[in-house]
């Protein structure tokens, strides 16, 4: 059985060790596995090479489309597990793309890593299957607001938001570009009864200057509403690059 994995260079899968740059585990040393394919298309997505392939007409602000052959690899689950094990970390972050599109294959892969704790980063539109769910320690859920460019009926599915709100392992991280985005978060929080302590607001941006400037006013809104502020540590340390 194979997983569809993103690449950090041609024929080199994006499996690497770094510090977690976002959310509740920010700063923690982890192994990363970045999968390819996504069911959404955020106009500001910072990993368009995982889904915006040639022939895909969905809009992205960068305008670039990517060659599928050089940006995707199919790797046997045993091979993926071995590469992760060799990184020597005790925690794994599975990101994308949208990882839960490959849930059954992930469950098979994680069966070979019984001693590692697992975070899954998801856009929140796909419910995890049971045999994967029992292996996951934390979900980093990033529902996509209106400014992502995704239709709400695809990106903000009410029953899924209710599901994540009631899942204590799930932290909901919202990407924020303007104060109007925070109003949308407040609306979602109210109607889905999301605990404020499990909501993170994170400035949209792929450079340090933008992130810092937006985080200044965003921090005040976090204080006001009892939310948590997430940085993008990897951008400050390494820039907007693959494999970091």
CATH number where 146 lies? 3.20.20.70
CA 44 – CA 184 distance, rounded (Å): 18
| Model pLDDT, residue 8 | 96
Residue ranges making up the domain that contains 87: 2-173
How far is it, in rounded angstroms, from Cα 48 to Cα 59? Answer: 10
Burial per residue of 37-60, b for 16 or more beta-carbon CB atoms within 10 angstroms, e otherwise: bbbbbbebbebbbbbbbeeeeeeb
Nearest-angstrom CA–CA distance, 202 and 138? 18
pLDDT of the residue at 183? 98
pLDDT band for position 243 (cuts 50, 70, 90):
very high
- Predicted confidence band at 1 (pLDDT cuts at 50, 70, 90)? very high
Has residue 239 been placed in a domain?
no
The pLDDT, as a whole number, for residue 222 is 98
Strand partners, 203: 176
Give the H or E element holding residue 69.
helix 68-71
User: Is residue 103 a contact partner of residue 132, using CB atoms and an 8 Å limit?
Assistant: yes
134 assigned to some structural domain: yes
The rounded mean pLDDT for the chain is 97
55 part of a folded domain: yes
For residue range 170-223, what is the model confidence (pLDDT) as tens digits? 999 999 999 999 999 999 999 999 999 999 999 999 999 999 999 999 999 999
Confidence (pLDDT) at 44? 97
Q: Is residue 119 part of a domain?
A: yes
pLDDT per residue as tens digits for the range 96-146: 999 999 999 999 999 999 999 999 999 999 999 999 999 999 999 999 999
Q: Is residue 192 part of a domain?
A: no
Q: How confident is the model at residue 33 (pLDDT cuts 50, 70, 90)?
A: very high
Could you give the number of structural domains in the chain?
1
């Amino acid at each position: 059985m194979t997983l569809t994995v993103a690449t950090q260079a041609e024929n080199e899968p994006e499996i690497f060790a770094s510090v977690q740059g976002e959310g509740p585990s920010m700063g923690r040393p982890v192994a990363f596995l970045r999968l390819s394919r996504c069911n959404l298309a955020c106009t500001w997505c910072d990993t368009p090479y995982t889904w915006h392939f040639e022939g895909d007409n969905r809009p992205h602000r960068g305008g670039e489309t990517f060659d599928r052959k050089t940006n995707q690899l199919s790797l046997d689950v045993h091979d993926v597990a071995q590469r992760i094990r060799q990184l020597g970390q005790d925690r794994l972050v599975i990101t994308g793309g949208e990882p839960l599109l490959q849930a059954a294959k992930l469950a098979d892969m994680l069966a070979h890593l019984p001693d590692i704790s697992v975070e899954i980063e998801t856009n929140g539109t796909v419910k995890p299957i049971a045999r994967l769910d029992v292996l996951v320690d934390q979900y980093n859920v990033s529902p996509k607001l209106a400014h992502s460019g995704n239709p709400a009926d695809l990106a903000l599915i009410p029953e899924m938001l209710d599901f994540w709100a009631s899942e204590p392992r799930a932290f909901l991280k919202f990407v924020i570009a303007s104060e109007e985005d925070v109003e949308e978060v407040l609306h979602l929080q109210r109607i889905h009864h999301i605990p404020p302590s499990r909501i993170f607001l994170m400035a949209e941006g792929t450079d340090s200057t933008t992130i810092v400037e937006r985080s200044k006013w965003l921090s005040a809104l976090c204080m006001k509403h009892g939310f948590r502020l997430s940085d993008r540590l990897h951008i400050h340390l390494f820039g907007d690059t693959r494999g970091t």
